[in-house]
Chains A and B, each alone.
Chain A
């Protein structure tokens, strides 16, 4: 009973901040509402017993997405929200409510028995050497999805970099404000970053057997890098540097190399020979962690705006 009351409270809060995010006239208030939404969804995921997803939502949905939205709110001029006429709002509201009602019907009239692959995952998990079923799905059964995802992350960065103004090509993205070095941020960074790096690596490592994993851990590592850049403790690298590009591509390259090696060794692309499954998965995870952390950090930093920071 207490559990259901808690669920009702979480659901009411999520709907409240979602409505706030859509309805407020102030762009900045909408961003703050969205960050709160991400954090509250984390609670919903935890209540759905999906702890791996909860960690991802906290790190990415509430965390780095919030940072990137705040970056945009500083660079963009506030736009005055003009309310549409009441008739349009009512019509759109009714149509959207109809879609919600349709989805609710699907929720209320589920298929029985519920579709599930849990039994199959359990049956083959031992062969991967992993204890966390989510890691097993990501790294073995649906490794192709995960591989393509890492490529998508890289492609998004290509997209962001291709929006660099011509004059700034090859420069450094700038994260720190002019007064960053005098504020409390450098001290905060020096205290938090060492702890954050340890936690990030721990989350990656523990992900084999418990909730956690490379995406969640890499996001924490990326956040520490972002904090260091924002506090002016370190500069973003020039985007033309080839060592940086090698680091960004290392994860997908290792992944595809192991995948191709699977064709002669285990009979299929992205299949692992059973005896080597755990070490190979670890190898891929370490390479992916470094690449994803670097890519996420640079996605948040955005394209370089001036060539002034090109070389020190």
Chain B
């Protein structure tokens, strides 16, 4: 093992590491579900970037990056969107339910 040269891949790797930390901070400290979901997506973006750095360092055979992790990140981005869409709908439904039960208490 030796220290990586300070190139673009290393820089973006450090960016990914920082984004994971920022996202985690938001998930732990926010009480609102919506804000936690945003923070979770920030974290996810950081993980994807880390994976992209692995791909970039695996460049070879005439490709600028290893296509296998790149393809898996594309799959990951789509799945993350689906999970986000489902989570948002759950949050909206929960809020509607809370509103309805608040109304019951008042009447």
Q: Interface residues of B toward A: which range?
A: 35 or more
Chain A neighbourhood of B90, CB < 8 A: 163
Interface residue from A21, A76, A81 paired with B42 (Cβ < 8 Å): A21
Answer whether residue A199 sits at the interface, using C-beta atoms and an 8 A cutoff. Answer: no
Can you name 27 A-B pairs with beta carbons within 8 Å? A4-B11, A21-B42, A44-B52, A45-B52, A47-B12, A48-B52, A49-B64, A49-B65, A50-B52, A56-B73, A75-B95, A79-B32, A96-B22, A99-B20, A100-B18, A107-B16, A110-B4, A112-B1, A117-B68, A118-B61, A118-B66, A119-B61, A142-B68, A149-B79, A153-B82, A163-B90, A165-B96
A64 located at the interface, meaning its Cβ lies under 8 Å from any Cβ of chain B in the complex: yes
Q: Which residue of B lies closest to A25 (CB)?
A: B35
Give residues of chain A (58-72) contacting chain B, Cβ–Cβ below 8 Å: 60-61, 64-65, 68-69, 71-72
Contacts of B84 in A (CB 8 A): 65, 68
Cα A203 to Cα B95 with chains together (Å): 38
Proximity bits, B57-85, A CB within 8 Å = 1, else 0:
11111111111101111110111011111
Q: Which residue of B lies closest to A19 (CB)?
A: B22
- Chain A residues within an 8 Å CB radius of B73: 50, 53, 56
Q: Check A107/B61 contact, CB under 8 A, given A134-B71, A299-B85.
A: no
In the complex, how many residue pairs between chain A and chain B have their CB atoms under 8 Å apart? 281
Contact A133 B67 (CB under 8 A): yes
Cβ of A249 under 8 Å from chain B: no
Interface residue SS majority, chain B: helix
Is the Cβ of A117 less than 8 Å from the Cβ of B52?
no
Other-chain residue from A61, A69, A77 in contact with B45 (beta carbon distance below 8 A): A61
Which positions 1-54 of chain B face chain A at CB distance < 8 Å? Answer: 1-4, 7-26, 28-32, 34-35, 38-39, 41-42, 45, 48-50, 52-54
Residue of B nearest to A71 (CB): B88
Chain A, residue nearest B67 (CB): A133
Counting chain B CB atoms within 10 Å of each CB, the highest count among A11, A15, A92, A303 belongs to A11
Interface: A57 (CB within 8 A): yes
Contact partners of B82 in chain A: CB under 8 A? 152-153, 155-156, 299
Evaluate contact between B18 and A34: CB separation under 8 angstroms: no
Residue ID in chain B nearest A136 by CB atoms: B67
Chain B's nearest CB lies how many Å from the CB of A297? 11
Besides A4-B7, A22-B42, A68-B85, 12 other A-B contacts (C-beta < 8 A): A4-B8, A48-B55, A60-B77, A107-B13, A110-B1, A119-B61, A133-B67, A134-B67, A145-B72, A153-B79, A213-B74, A299-B81
